């Protein structure tokens, strides 16, 4: 997750980032489930939706993440759902770590107010 929310963000802004992050987690869950079910059309659509939600302010990080998503798309198109699942699971775990950091930042900001 991009840290575009900045260190001096207000609680409302942090809450919006957290809400957006939860939506992304739900998309990851949908993509993972569609890979388990070998549902190519839903898996492709969901991964494309995940890609569209990336913040592109940090092109270096965003580019690396997009490359991982591109690999997952290729895997899904080839019917290699197991490999796509593993890649998406790794991305989801990284996203969850970023969300945990964001929640800690929000809690710290709340305690300062």
| In a domain? residue 103 | yes
Angle at 86 between CA 36 and CA 78, to 5 degrees: 70
pLDDT higher at 79 or 65: 79
- At 1, the pLDDT band (50, 70, 90 cuts) reads very low
Q: Running DSSP on this structure, what letter comes out for residue 58?
A: S
Count structural domains, the chain.
1
Domain containing 101 — which CATH number? 1.20.120
What distance in Å separates the CA atoms of residue 67 and residue 101, rounded to the nearest whole number? Answer: 23
Helix, strand, or coil here: 98? helix
| In a domain? residue 4 | no
Could you tell me the pTM of the whole model?
A: 0.82
How confident is the model over 2-29, as a mean pLDDT?
79
How confident is the model over 57-63, as a mean pLDDT?
63
Question: Is the distance from CB of 65 to CB of 91 less than 8 angstroms?
Answer: yes
Question: Is the distance from CB of 66 to CB of 54 less than 8 angstroms?
Answer: yes
């Amino acid at each position: 997750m991009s840290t575009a929310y900045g260190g001096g963000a207000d609680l409302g802004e942090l809450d919006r980032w957290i809400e957006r992050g939860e939506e992304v987690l739900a998309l990851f869950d949908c993509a993972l489930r569609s890979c388990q079910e070998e549902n190519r059309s839903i898996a492709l659509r969901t991964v494309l939706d995940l890609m569209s939600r990336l913040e592109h302010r940090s092109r270096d990080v965003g580019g690396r993440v997009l490359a991982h998503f591109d690999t997952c798309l290729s895997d899904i198109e080839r019917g290699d759902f197991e490999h796509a699942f593993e890649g998406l699971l790794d991305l989801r775990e990284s996203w969850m770590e970023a969300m945990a950091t964001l929640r800690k930042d929000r809690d710290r900001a709340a305690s300062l107010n």
